């Protein structure tokens, strides 16, 4: 393998790790645009991922419908450009739940992930008492230690977690907060802290942005890990529109260091239809 192939393959692999974040980031922006509506709305948004802000790795798209009392979203991404030469990955996800006084309660979540000639489907449902999951094919193990029922119930699904971030930043006007996430096997924390102020131009937005440091911390449902392992996970950043609109700070960008260079996932277009 040449050095250039190694760079692109490394970037593709990291893109796949962050691709789900791109999908959920996009969905959070959709909620920011539509949850305050008094009637049903359908919103579409597109994100693109790149290395060095030059080499295209793939796109993510989202379509979501909202009413004053409920939401349903479907999302997807696929590697493209140079990345597809080394890693053909396709991800689709769905989430639905209730809206009550601005609070979102997820009820159903699904993920289909095709990668390296393999395929996995995850379906989760959440009640007031427990989270149940159907996984095909099943994981060989559920991690050491596995996520407990209490951890699962106290967590957001991955999509709703980013929506909760957008709401928290919109209300606080500052980068702060810890968000618990469960994806069917892994339970982890996403923690925001202040980093900088910036300016974002793209996707119909041209204005100030609040730049937050984004820390990913595995908790349970992984292989055996040490605090040193977690400390080696690189810190990313997430950009939010500033000031917020209707209590939401729309997410605009995720950026993260990778072995192949900086990975950026940027909003490129958004549309809202009644």
Name which residue leads in pLDDT, 209 or 162.
Answer: 209
**Segment 151-180, tens digit of pLDDT:** 999 998 887 787 778 778 888 889 999 999
Q: What confidence score (pLDDT) does residue 197 get?
A: 94
Binning pLDDT at 50, 70 and 90, where does residue 121 land?
A: very high
Average per-residue pLDDT for the chain: 79
- Assign 68 a pLDDT band (cuts: 50, 70, 90): confident
Q: Which pLDDT belongs to residue 14?
A: 42
- Chain segment 127-160, per-residue pLDDT in tens: 999 999 999 999 999 999 999 999 999 998 887 7
Confidence of residue 257 (pLDDT cuts 50, 70, 90): confident
Q: How far apart are the first and last CA of the chain?
A: 51
One-character DSSP codes across the chain: --HHHHHHHHHHHHHHHHHHHHHHHHHHHHHHHHTT-SS-EEEEEEEEEEETTTEEEEEEEEEEEE-SSEEEEEEEEEE-TTHHHH---EEEEEEEEEEETTEEEEEEEEEEEEETTEEEEEEEEE-SS-EEEEEESPPS--TTTTPPHHHHHTSBPHHHHHHHHHHHHHHHSSS-EEEEEE-SS-EEEEEEEEEEEEEEEETTEEEEEEEEEEEEEEEESSS---HHHHHTSPPEEEEEESS-BTTB--EEEEEEEETTEEEEEEEEEEEEE-
Residue 274 pLDDT exceeds 80: no
Give this prediction's pTM.
0.81
Which pLDDT does position 246 carry in this prediction?
63
Segment 211-232, tens digit of pLDDT: 999 998 999 999 888 888 888 8
Cα angle 154, 158, 160; round to 5? 75
**pLDDT at site 227:** 86
* Tokens found for residue 207: 């204005």
């Amino acid at each position: 393998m040449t050095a250039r192939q190694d760079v692109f393959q490394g970037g593709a692999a990291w893109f796949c790790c962050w691709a789900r974040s791109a999908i959920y980031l996009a969905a959070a922006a959709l909620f920011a645009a539509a949850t305050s509506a008094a009637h049903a709305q359908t919103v579409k948004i597109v994100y693109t991922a790149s290395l060095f802000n030059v080499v295209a790795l793939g796109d993510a798209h989202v379509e979501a419908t909202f009413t004053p009392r409920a939401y349903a979203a479907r999302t997807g991404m696929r590697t493209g450009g140079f990345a597809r030469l080394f890693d053909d990955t396709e991800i689709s996800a769905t989430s639905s739940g209730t809206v009550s006084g601005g609070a979102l309660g997820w009820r159903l979540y699904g993920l289909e992930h095709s990668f390296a000639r393999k395929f996995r489907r995850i379906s989760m449902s959440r009640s007031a008492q427990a989270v149940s999951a159907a996984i095909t094919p099943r994981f060989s193990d559920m991690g050491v230690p596995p996520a407990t029922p209490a951890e699962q119930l106290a967590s957001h699904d991955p999509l709703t977690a980013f929506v909760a971030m957008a709401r928290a930043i919109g209300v606080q006007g500052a980068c702060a907060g810890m968000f618990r996430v469960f994806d069917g096997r892994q339970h982890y924390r996403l923690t925001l802290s202040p980093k900088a102020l910036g300016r974002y131009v793209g996707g119909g937005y041209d204005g100030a942005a609040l730049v937050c440091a984004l820390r990913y911390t595995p908790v349970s449902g992984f292989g055996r890990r040490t605090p040193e392992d977690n400390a080696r996970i690189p810190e990313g950043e997430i950009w939010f529109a500033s000031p917020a609109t209707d209590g939401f700070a729309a997410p605009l960008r995720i950026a993260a260091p990778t072995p192949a260079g900086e990975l950026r996932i940027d909003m490129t277009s958004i549309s809202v239809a009644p």
